[in-house]
Amino acid sequence: MPRIERATYVADYRIRLRFADGNEGEVNLAGELWGEVFEPLKDLAVFRDFHLNPELNTITWPTGADFAPEFLYEMAMAEPVA
pLDDT tens digits for range 5-33 = 999 999 999 999 999 999 999 999 999 99
Q: Report all structural domains of the chain as residue ranges with CATH numbers, in order of start.
A: 4-78 (3.30.2020.10)
Q: What is the pTM of this model?
A: 0.92
Q: Is the dihedral of CA 38, 50, 80, 76 positive or negative?
A: negative
What is the structure's pLDDT at 1?
Answer: 87
Query: For residues 22 and 3, what is the distance between their CA atoms, to the nearest angstrom?
Result: 10
User: How far separated are the first and last CA of the chain, in Å rounded?
Assistant: 25
Is pLDDT of 82 > 70? no
CB 59, CB 7: distance < 8 Å: yes
For the purposes of burial, counting CB atoms within 10 Å of the CB of 15, is it exposed (0-12), middle (13-18) or buried (19 or more)? buried
DSSP 1: -
What is the structure's pLDDT at 79?
Answer: 62
CB 35, CB 20: distance < 8 Å: no
Q: Which of 19, 23, 20 is CA-nearest to residue 81? A: 23
- Across residues 55-77, what is the average pLDDT? 96
